[in-house]
Structure 1
Amino acid sequence: MATDNRKPYQTDRPSPCPAQDWDPRSPQVQQNQIRAYDQMREECPVAHSDYLGWSLFRHQDVLQVLGDHETFSNLVSRHPSVPNGMDPPEHTLYRAMIEPYFAPERIDAFEPVFRQIARELVDYLGTNPSCDVIRDFAEPYAVRIQCGFLGWPQSLHAPLLRWIYRNRAATHARDTDAMATVALEFDGHIRSQLELRERAGNAASDDLSTCLLRQTVKGRRLKHSEIVSILRNWTVGELGTIAACVGIILHFLAGRLDTQTLLRRDRNQIPQVIDEILRLHGPLISNRRVATRQVKVGGRTLGAGERITVMWAAANRDGEIFAEADQFRPERDQSHNLLYGAGIHVCPGAQLARMQLNVVLDELLSGLGPFALHPGADPVRAIYPASGFSSLFLAPA
């Protein structure tokens, strides 16, 4: 993982001008991100690179960052991000405003919608067993459930799927012009939905997007730019992460017929099994922060203004926190699992995501017989910043 023939880590250099400890984009890392991050956690748990700044791989170091928002700021982007890219007191205000949208009763009302979507896609999978389950199942599921949650029409399903592919290609190529273009394209989809509802006035559909148009904060209606930012955060993260989750779960179960059998007999174990699978292989690799002052993390000194990348996928496999961390133990205590984050920025949609994943796995187990990895098509792993798999084929077991 090192950028030359030196050891991949050094701890005796002064800040604030460290050399690279590792290259996050190297072929060795991208070949198997999870394995590479495990190695970094053991060899160089606080590591610098030009690409990611300071990367933190240990659970305790990640928790230090998540628990101290005054020292580790979320103001990491040039573009407004509501509320993810905010610090208190602004974050507190907007977070309180959005949390009711993820209230249990609101989420529960969508379960029949998500279940019908999952059932239709499982039926497709059953009649097209040779399809790529990422492109033809996981990604369509993510798009359709998100449109259902937001009240967006079926006519957006295909454009959003095309957007996913273009966004992924631009991100992997680090093509900033293309990334800006696809970002504007996505914002255009959101604005068109807002404009349709504004033109409809009182006749607008009573859905989440309409509710945001009528939402107030500080005694005023939300600006269009604020609504676009909120919906962008919810949707972009949801599309990529839910699709990655579904692929990771299917890949794992394809190699564990015993676990498939267990879950077919006892569906009550689905939530715990999913959390443990996604602890082992995180669907979200990392998140960003910036240091507001000089601070020590894991024995290294980080300067004010330096970029920080918390590596969820490594922290959740830390043997100091999880006994036999690389082993599948669904009975283990998940209270330290950082799948949905921690601290003031913990994911507000965690319960929604859990329900969406529970539903799709339940329907898969009902609609498909035992399955395994296709012997003639190796899974293709996703590369940073994505996780999971970019291609996955299954076959009857």
Structure 2
Amino acid sequence: MGKSLIEIAQQLKESDKKVQLIYGFNGNGKTRLSKEFRLLVAPKNDTETDETGLASKKIIYYNAFTEDLFYWDNDLANDIDLKLKIHPNSFTEWVLNEQGQDQNVISHFQNYTDRTLTPKFNSDFSEVTFSYERGNEEPSPNIKVSKGEESSFVWSVFYSLLNQVIDVLNIAEPSERETDQLNQLKYVFIDDPVTSLDDNHLIQLAVDLAHLIKKSDSELKFVITTHNPIFYNVLYNEVNKKTCYMLGRKEDGTFELEEKPGDSNKSFSYHLHLKNTIEEAIENNQVQKYHFTLLRNLYEKTASFLGFPYWSDLLPDNKEAYYNRIIQFTSHSTLADSSAAEPSPQEKQTVRLLFDHLINNYSFRKEA
């Protein structure tokens, strides 16, 4: 029997493990789980507000809502003064203004992106501009970075914050810490950090995060969710004192959190789980819009394994029409619309056709 995300959040909260590592496909509720967990740890009617500063905070988290703290002023009138603005909040106020970690943020950001791409904070750390600085060349000031680079910047701020938090809490005696503002902090929840990175930088990010977790000697507990098997496997191999799970979404809209020993290759055959999930939905006439996401993931993994540069190369004739249909149903805005109607019979037939095409033409072993 499935559970609600609130029930799963309660299960995670009650665990005594230092690290809980959760794998889940896109569209399976990871970001919503992070929200439910945050509300469970720090309810809205609790005394925790941003006006109280860090002193009442019980959880810090990185997810899509964290990125919403950063937004662009595009200077629509002149298209010259482009800057990334930061909503006032206690965490960036502490790590940037009070702890002076701006140079570390810049260094981390350049490690994950480009050494010549340079952020520059204003004096009160309420906004940041970006420029390319290539030696003797004329710098390119006030550029708008890509969405992936923006996510890398937000992560670099969070990483610097987490590093400082761990250093403070590692001092066992609260009275000897440089600040008492973090004494109530109990949890760190990280949901899919910077998935747009290439594999090398993603591995480096996972290794860096594992280093922080391993150096944490306090009672701080970590919950980490991801859909990326590389990121998952690096953390699995680098971090001790962990419990690993797979988050699944059932056909009735409930969820399951299944404990899984081993890395992603041993504990859940990624492509086979996708295949079985889609196959079951087709057989039971229970195809939903999120099955387009699973189908796309299956195409992506098969293309990568077989050496095709694009997953769309595996599509049947009339590739563009099928490609556009899948893209339409796998956009984040479409999946996020919980009120959207279920797929039409024709759309369900498209899932069946594309699934059968992949299974029949690319050497999947048939079940007896």
Look at both structures and tell me which one has the larger radius of gyration over its CA atoms: 2
Instruction: Give the TM-score taking structure 2 as reference length.
Output: 0.24
Query: Relative to total residues, which structure has the larger helix share, 1 or 2?
Result: 1
* Structure having greater relative contact order (Cα 8 Å, sep ≥ 6): 1
Instruction: Give the TM-score taking structure 1 as reference length.
Output: 0.23
